[in-house]
Amino acid sequence: MDLQAVAERAPDRPAVIMAESGERISFRELDEASNRLAQVFYGAGLRPGDHIAFMLENRWEFLAVAWAAQRSGLYYTAVSTRLTFDEAGYIVENCEAKAFVASAAVRDVAREIAATNDALVVRLMLDEAVAGFDSYEETVAAAPAVPLEEQIEGMDMLYSSGTTGRPKGVKPPLPQTPWGTPGILSQLLEMLFQPNDSSVYLSPAPLYHAAPLRYSMCFQRAGATVVVFEKFDAEQVLTAIQEHRVTHSQWVPTMFIRLLKLPAEVRASYDVSSMLHAVHAAAPCPVPVKKQMIEWWGPILHEYYAGTEGNCFVYTDSASWLANEGTVGRPILGEIHVLGPDGEELPTGEVGTLYFGNGPEFSYHGDPGKTASAQDPGGRGWTTLGDVGYVNENGFLFLTDRLSHMIISGGVNIYPQEAENLLAVHPKVADVAVFGVPDPEMGEQVKAVVQPADPADAGEELAAELIAYCRENLAHYKCPRTVDFRDELPRHPTGKLLKRVLRDEYAKEATA
């Protein structure tokens, strides 16, 4: 199905509800807005295979821009609103965008991008256009609301978060299929979660990330209403679930932790019985956290492991997870290969770098070196997302950590995710990061940086308590030797922990 077909069948059904403001946009309005913008792109000379970029906060127009490109056969890149000019400008130039849409909320960065990028033939700004941009509202309103004569499916080209070096643009082949042809993700979601025109999908994360954007559009294809949060707030999402009778939702483990740290009486006061499927991904979920969520919401939790690259899709429902606690599931797209440091395939139960075969192809745009580094050294066509883990005797995958997060202390490999998951559920911890810091004798030592639940607790006594707690549950060499305290840890709005920021800071201190 496609947006146009849904709009014809149910023109007044809400396509988007903004959770905080309550603004509602119907399928007719979203369809017409995307048609008008598609006409603007076509009138400026953009043709299938060309590229657009947009830098917008969570708002309904975000999806209008994405749909305009999707129905025009264009590649489209969503750019994080948190990036600096150097970071965002690199992405807009690297993706070879011919059109750039921004909002006044990012006017300073957008102005610099427009001033330094001569390839942009369309430059639109919402709310109040600055020099170098045309008004989005006026330009779109002047365009016809009819579909292009020829509509074919476009494709997103999103960028990795850039945990090391510049972010990488993941460029899958353009499908070249007629408008309305479902992609692989739509088929997977149909099989697993059965979205339909009675579904209400809650998206509490920034839409510029792969999963929130892709899932929102897939659910809209099925005729579902998408409830979009401007910014995540634990109690407000419970309000939204109850008010809008949400049936499907997507989360990251940090959001679960914040929900569980609400007072029990607050959690119990909300009706979440409408939810049929609560999906989570992006990071390993601590076992105690997931158990508590299943106890609270019931066996409706679904977990998957995948990446922007789209080379695999590993999945588990609640029943399979309870039988294999800690798993992220078994593959339903791609096959798992666990490789050792020499590229040899490891037996069941042994930890190594995860590679996937027989999945969709991808490349990193304009960077054959990065593309090659994601391929297995044996030349077997397998690709990796840089994660480490193992497969048990039942074929279930368990993630250990990111390869880039591994700590080497005295020649021993330590994956900090274990200690991090353990400390995250301590009642005196609001947030935590565990990583390696330079050590003159051991090479690296394990460090924990903690945001205490009560700032007054920060100090040597709590540090000693957390180290002792960790040592009671893990081998001592896996536990932090020291604990520092912060008012807040660096995270993406999705909840993704930015360990690189902390590691770089401590590395600079050690060098100094």
168 has a pLDDT exceeding 90: no
Three-state DSSP at 432 gives strand
Label the pairing between strands 248-251 and 200-203.
Answer: parallel
The whole-angstrom separation of Cα 227 and Cα 215 is 12
Token pair belonging to 329: 């599931």
192 has a pLDDT exceeding 80: yes
The whole-angstrom separation of Cα 194 and Cα 336 is 26
User: Residue 485 pairs with which residues in a beta bridge?
Assistant: 450
Radius of gyration of the chain (CA): 23
499 has a pLDDT exceeding 90: no
Please give the pLDDT value at position 285. Answer: 85
**Average confidence (pLDDT) over 121-133:** 97
**Average confidence (pLDDT) over 343-353:** 93
Please give the pLDDT value at position 494. Answer: 60
Q: Which residue has the higher pLDDT, 187 or 310?
A: 187
| pLDDT-above-90 percentage for the chain | 72
Please give the pLDDT value at position 474. Answer: 85
Q: Which residue has the higher pLDDT, 172 or 30?
A: 30
pLDDT band at 477 (very low <50, low <70, confident <90, very high): confident
Domains of the chain plus CATH, in order, are 25-172 (3.40.50.980), 182-308 (3.40.50.980), 326-403 (2.30.38.10), 406-511 (3.30.300.30)
**Average confidence (pLDDT) over 322-343:** 94
336 has a pLDDT exceeding 90: yes
Contact 89, 116 (CB under 8 A): yes
**Beta-carbon neighbour count of residue 435 at 10 Å?**
22
Give the strands of the sheet with 14-18, arranged side by side.
24-26, 14-18, 225-228, 200-203, 248-251, 277-280, 301-305, 313-316, 330-333
Please give the pLDDT value at position 330. Answer: 96
- Per-residue burial over 72-81, b if 16 or more Cβ lie within 10 Å, else e, is bbbbbbbbbb
**Average confidence (pLDDT) over 401-405:** 73
**Beta-carbon neighbour count of residue 132 at 10 Å?**
16
250-276 pLDDT per residue, tens: 998 889 988 998 999 999 999 999 999
324 to 183, 276, 477: CA distances (angstroms) = 30, 22, 26
Q: Which residue has the higher pLDDT, 430 or 441?
A: 430
512 has a pLDDT exceeding 80: no
Please give the pLDDT value at position 252. Answer: 87
114-118, 161-165, 265-269: the lowest-pLDDT one: 161-165
**Beta-carbon neighbour count of residue 128 at 10 Å?**
12
pLDDT band at 164 (very low <50, low <70, confident <90, very high): very low
**Average confidence (pLDDT) over 294-318:** 94
Please give the pLDDT value at position 163. Answer: 43
140-144, 392-396, 412-416: the lowest-pLDDT one: 412-416
54-105 pLDDT per residue, tens: 999 999 999 999 999 999 999 999 999 988 898 899 999 999 999 999 999 9
Which of 434, 435, 480, 488 has the alpha carbon at shortest distance from 458?
Answer: 488
Return mean pLDDT, the chain: 92
pLDDT band at 17 (very low <50, low <70, confident <90, very high): very high
Please give the pLDDT value at position 406. Answer: 74
Highest-confidence range of 11-15, 160-164, 210-214, 250-254, by mean pLDDT?
11-15
pLDDT band at 475 (very low <50, low <70, confident <90, very high): confident
| pLDDT-above-70 percentage for the chain | 97
